[in-house]
Amino acid sequence: MQLLGAVLDTGAQRGATGTPAEILSRTETTLNMQPAVGTAKKMTGILMGAETIDQHGKSFILVLPDVSVYDPGMSDSLISAGRLMETGYNVNFRIPNDALTVPSPRIPFLFTEVALLLQTISL
């Protein structure tokens, strides 16, 4: 399985990337952001375009709503699911067919490179 584009993150404050090719323009702002690990730090505000796929498997560039941030230390780009939904996008998740599940009395755990893949983003 080949993964394409950024990770759709339901906990991200806003979009973020460490990939210069995803910067469409700089916003001339600096935002104080709290990464998942470590202390808060200032990050450059950007307009971000992330490559993803639609429900038909066709690749396209999604221009993220609102200001995103650039941090050259990031290994993956993040798309904020919450920001998309706040601006009217319909975000659908689907568990990949090749995910392995481990039985659990309460919650099935998924083991795959990405447990949830963005399958559809549409207005």
- CATH assignment of the domain containing 55: 2.40.70.10
Query: Tell me, what DSSP letter sits at residue 88?
Result: T
Sign of CA dihedral 50, 51, 52, 58: positive
Give yes or no for residue 109 having a pLDDT over 50: no
pLDDT of 80 reads: 92
d(CA 63, CA 1): 25
Mean pLDDT, rounded, for 95-100: 59
117 lies in some domain: no
Q: Confirm if 95 and 56 have CB atoms less than 8 A apart.
A: no
Residue 49 tokens, joined: 């375009």
Number of domains in the chain: 1
What is the span of the domain harbouring residue 31?
7-91
pTM of the predicted protein model: 0.70
Residue with tokens 């221009």: 63
d(CA 41, CA 102): 37
pLDDT of 1 reads: 41
103 lies in some domain: no
96 lies in some domain: no
113 lies in some domain: no
Mean pLDDT score of the chain: 77
